[in-house]
Amino acid sequence: MPDLDPEEFRRLGHRFVDWVADYRAGLGELSVRAAVEPGWVRGQLAADLPEHPRPLEELLAEVDRVVVPASTHWQHPGFFGYFPANASLTSLLGDLLSGGLGTQGMLWSTSPACTEVEQVLLDGLAGALGLGKEYTFDGGGGGSIQDSASSAALVALLAALHRTSGGTWRETGTDGRERVYVTAETHSCMAKAVRVTGLGAQALQVVDPAPGSLAMSPDALAAAMAADTAAGLRPVLVCPTIGTTGTGAVDPVREIAQVSRAHGAWVHVDAAWAGVAALCPEFRDLLDGVELADSFCTDAHKWLLTAFDASMLWVRDGAALPAALSITPEYLRNAASESGEVVDYRDWQVPLGRRFRALKLWTVIHGLGLEGLRAHIRGHVALASELAARVRADPRFTLATPPSLALVCLRVLGRDDALDDRADDQATRAVLERVNASGSALLTHTVVDGRYVIRVAIGSVGTQPRHVEALWTALREAADAVRRGP
């Protein structure tokens, strides 16, 4: 048998666990950003794969030598880029069990536990988030773990296409009349879903924001849907976002859902990053109107301490995804599925196979409790508020948009003596590059109203007040240096 036997695995498993513990313990000392050129990693590794087994301890040395210096350290406490990707150590324990069981959960019958643990957790989290009974299996809906919010958006669109076609879509496909409504701030995954489903970019209607905001205007949506319907087009889906990627803007879900219902369009709420904040009662109003939507997505793998991949998707109609996605060849037929008493999660997703991902989520909830999850979120929101207050009070900086939960968007003012958009943008970009080059923190950017903006997304598992303090120092020093000039 070529694989390790259990005793060898025990010994090496301890060794690999130690590597992870040591890596995490020393993470703060590393440069957040990889400082390697394209091709460096490829040049370090042998092109020919080894014919013979090599000691696995040597692999760890290779990882230290090649992988660590060529990695951007997403778990670093100074990682403030994109959105966080919380790979908590707690969740890794559950993921290890998932691998150990090696379950393939495509059907209920291929592992009842894999399916039902996921059902229990998603029902429980629907309650804890305040989503409402109708999103639970007990209430006729239900939740599932997808790999990512991109895939959640895709399957929501597929369910919408099936429902709005009156049942013809599975047979004759799309007809060129479908329309999907987003804003300029909606995540690109919805544009990708529109492309993947064969609607073409022509189907994507970019609805204007309400004046003075980045949030979708329900009036503009109503006008667009009415015009499209009058033109013989079919509103299929609208995607309001709770916490956009660029700036954390929140679309008015309640009004959007009311408009959409009149046209029979599916409402998919993308709350990939921000949705988990609704675990805290004080942020619960973020989800206002979600009970009127058709589907709701938030990622456990962003800000909920669960290692990628674990995107949670709830639907109010538990039959909607299987109706759109089910195909049953002979080799997948089984008595449990035919009884109608079970959920076969393969019919809730594009891939057939699925890992027992609920175990890592279960481990997080068990090991940290809902109060631990809330403390994690509250801590970061408080840090963001403090940072935003400092930005407001400092003449070298300005907030680009109001802070949203733990996301702060800021700009640098290039000159004290005059308004100069171009100088501001150059200074902001230069400050971002200077901070990133220091290795102490990693920031990414967006563009708002044509202006270059630094995003500070607070939320890494290990981020403490002192790390945000250090970031603020680095930002001020960089601003001084940039404003002083070369």
- Binding to a second copy in span 163-202, by CB under 8 A: 169-176, 187-189, 191-192, 195-202
Question: Interface mask (CB under 8 A) for a second copy, residues 242-281, using x and -?
Answer: ---xx-----------------------------------
Footprint on residues 423-462 left by a second copy (CB under 8 A): 444-447, 455, 461-462
- 325 binds a second copy, rule: CB under 8 A: yes
Residue 359 Cβ vs a second copy, minimum distance, rounded to whole Å: 8
- 371 binds a second copy, rule: CB under 8 A: yes
- 231 binds a second copy, rule: CB under 8 A: no
Footprint on residues 282-301 left by a second copy (CB under 8 A): 301
- 39 binds a second copy, rule: CB under 8 A: yes
Of residues 93 and 223, the one with the C-beta less far from a second copy: 93
- 408 binds a second copy, rule: CB under 8 A: no
Of residues 100 and 415, the one with the C-beta less far from a second copy: 100
Stretch touching a second copy by CB under 8 A, among 224-232, 261-269, 346-354, 395-403: 346-354
- 119 binds a second copy, rule: CB under 8 A: yes
Q: Which residue of 363, 404, 428, 440 would you call a contact of a second copy, by CB under 8 A?
A: 363
Stretch touching a second copy by CB under 8 A, among 45-53, 387-395, 396-404, 417-425: 45-53
Q: Which residue of 30, 210, 226, 332 would you call a contact of a second copy, by CB under 8 A?
A: 332
Stretch touching a second copy by CB under 8 A, among 154-162, 228-236, 253-261, 382-390: 154-162
Q: Which residue of 131, 135, 142, 151 would you call a contact of a second copy, by CB under 8 A?
A: 151
Q: Which residue of 319, 370, 389, 481 would you call a contact of a second copy, by CB under 8 A?
A: 370
| Strands of the 444-448 sheet, one edge to the other | 397-399, 407-412, 451-457, 444-448
